[in-house]
Amino acid sequence: MAITDTDVNSKIQEEKVEEKVRENEEQAILRVENLHTSFFTDSGEVRAVNGVSFNLPKGKVLGVVGESGSGKSVTAYSIMQILADTGRVVEGKILYKGENILDYSEKKMNSFRGEKCSIIFQDPMTSLNPTFTIGWQLREAIQLHTDYKTKEEANKRAVELLKMVGITEPERRMKQYPFEYSGGMRQRVMIAMALACEPDILIADEQTTALDVTIQAQILELMKELQKEMGMAIILVTHDLGVIASMCDEIIVMYGGRVCERGTADDIFYRPCHEYTKGLLRSIPDVKNMKEKLVPIGGSPINMLSLPKGCAFCPRCEKALKVCLENAPDEMEMPDGHYASCWLNVKKEYEEEINAENQKTAGKEHA
Ligand SMILES: Nc1ncnc2c1ncn2[C@@H]1O[C@H](COP(=O)(O)OP(=O)(O)OP(=O)(O)O)[C@@H](O)[C@H]1O
Ligand code: SF4
Ligand SMILES: [Mg+2]
């Protein structure tokens, strides 16, 4: 059988795609594959995360966005293995530099948490001990997780870190207690604490939600600068797409414990391909058009104890099809290269194929 130019071209194309996938996988410092996490409660199994997958390349920023209860924190806590006693990863892999951390011993996991991956929570008061000075707490983290073992070395490093996160008069501030710091300053201390071990990955879970917008912007700006300086990868967890968009190399949108769409900020903002993402965008203010009315997503969040059989967003989706009720849509690549899981895209592709077929047939008949 003769090999045509088309065969050769498609082979070259296939090889290019495979090479790109290989490249991405090699670069990824963290890969989450088909993660399922559940809580086993008296009322039944709460399936909080249902098949989440993503790649976090070295030195990149990934935004995880979704409304309350969509499984953002549970995904983050699964990576850190800090789930409540009733919670368990029931399926999937979490690969750090190719190793499945779910197979790690408790000792190895402790060093992963302390040295490779750090997390910052929304409320610093839950992480800072009110009865110890900031200096004491920073010193302890440094001595525990780094090679600065003596009190003097750790003290010096703590002062350096406070300076790095923009705390003025760090020597004096070291002697103060958390209540003597403002909310924004406490967040800066949390960042300093998380950076103490120079982690490869930093997870910030709704870190700036409780702060006013100006301080929020300052903290995000600081994170951006530190990320560039230290080259770590960051996972930014938030329910507020508008706040983090400019910082992220990639954004994943979650609903009902699943990823509904993933792509660059431009893909998500200008070419959304999932009805939930479109709803999210309609509900955030557009600075260029402040007169436009905000439209909240109708209906109530799903009950994670009894997830719908098909698309999790189906009960609230105005464009739902019959198939959405029964079958969860698979992730599909969009023409611009980003990914979405919505039956409407399958329908659109099918209709385009039929149209193209019809045009071809009409052309032949005409000839
Ligand atoms: N300890 C727990 N026991 C039972 N269910 C839990 C537990 N922790 C979380 N869940 C459930 O898992 C689901 C996902 O929760 P998660 O905290 O990840 O949401 P989230 O997206 O971070 O929301 P938020 O924006 O409010 O922080 C929710 O339905 C929540 O009720
Ligand atoms: S799959 Fe169906 S229910 Fe889900 S977002 Fe798309 S159209 Fe709506
Ligand atoms: Mg959360």
Q: Which of 325, 240, 254 is nearest to 285 (CA)?
A: 240
Evaluate whether 34 touches 53 at the Cβ level (below 8 Å). Answer: yes
| Banded model confidence at residue 282, pLDDT cuts 50, 70, 90 | confident
Rg (CA), the chain: 24
Residue among 52, 67, 72 whose CB has most ligand 1 atoms within 8 A, to mutate: 72
List, for residues 127-178, the tens digit of each pLDDT value: 899 999 999 999 999 998 888 989 999 999 999 999 989 999 999 999 999 9
- pTM comes to 0.88
List, for residues 295-349, the tens digit of each pLDDT value: 778 888 888 888 889 999 999 999 999 999 999 999 999 999 999 999 999 999 9
List, for residues 200-244, the tens digit of each pLDDT value: 999 999 877 777 888 888 888 888 888 888 889 999 999 888 878
For residue 247 the two structure tokens come to 């910082």
Rounded distance from Cα 53 to ligand 1 centre (Å): 18
CA distance 219 to 217: 6
What is the per-residue DSSP string for 20-31?
A: HHHHHHHHEEEE
Segment holding 221, helix H or strand E: helix 213-230
For residue 72 the two structure tokens come to 């953002």
Rounded distance from Cα 64 to ligand 3 centre (Å): 10
Q: Is 137 exposed, middle or buried (0-12, 13-18, 19+ CB in 10 A)?
A: buried
pLDDT higher than 70, residue 6: no
pLDDT at res. 256? 95
Taking ligand 3, which is a single-atom ion, which protein residues have CB atoms under 5 Å away?
73
Coil vs helix vs strand at 234 = strand
Q: Which of 79, 87, 124 is nearest to 104 (CA)?
A: 79
For the Cβ of 346 lying below 6 angstroms from any atom of ligand 2, the answer is: no
Ligand nearest to C-alpha 329? 2
Mean pLDDT taken over the chain: 89
Residue among 319, 346, 350 whose CB has most ligand 2 atoms within 8 A, to mutate: 319
Residue nearest to atom 26 of ligand 1 (CA): 68
